[in-house]
Amino acid sequence: MWKQLDQYVRTCHSCLCCQLSRRETFGVLQQWPVPLTQLEETSMDHVVWLPECDHFKMIWVVVDTLSKMRHIIPCHTATDAVGFPSLFLRVVVHLRGLPATIVSDRGLQYASTIS
């Protein structure tokens, strides 16, 4: 009897319409503003757990959000929050200049162990 009642409530149109949501409403999505010049805004992300190639198992993808020009930088999985800025300066800033803003997912790679 409980199974039949449960199935009836799950499929009843009026029951489904009257149920209250148990979670908060989602926020409104907002678009990022379109940059005016190239390399004004840069986004970056990591691709990990790749097959090993020349002792590298991770790539770091740095993308200009306006032109979609990308830098694909091979990295070691041991690279930490201290190593990424030097890589960024050596590869991206050296070739393209310093961006105004950098967007990242704030992954574990940026968590520093320095107190």
Residue 82: CATH number of its domain: 3.30.420.10
Distance of CA 10 to the CA centre of its chain: 36
Q: Is residue 96 a part of any domain in this protein?
A: yes
Q: Answer positive or negative: Cα dihedral of 100, 39, 61, 87.
A: negative
Q: Is residue 3 a part of any domain in this protein?
A: no
Write out the residue range of the structural domain in which residue 82 sits. Answer: 41-110
Q: Is residue 28 a part of any domain in this protein?
A: no
Indicate the Cα dihedral angle 38, 39, 44, 47, nearest 10°.
Answer: 60
Lookup result for tokens 């840069």: 42
> Residue 73 has what pLDDT?
92
Q: Answer positive or negative: Cα dihedral of 96, 102, 103, 104.
A: positive
How many domains does one find in the chain? 1
Q: Is residue 26 a part of any domain in this protein?
A: no
pLDDT digit of tens for each residue in the chain (115 aa)?
Answer: 888 888 887 788 877 777 777 777 777 888 878 888 887 899 998 888 889 888 898 899 999 999 999 999 998 877 777 888 888 999 999 988 999 998 887 776 666 555 4
Q: Is residue 82 a part of any domain in this protein?
A: yes
> Residue 85 has what pLDDT?
86
Two structure tokens written together for 23: 């979670």
> Residue 110 has what pLDDT?
67
> Residue 109 has what pLDDT?
67
> Residue 113 has what pLDDT?
57
> Residue 78 has what pLDDT?
77
> Residue 115 has what pLDDT?
46
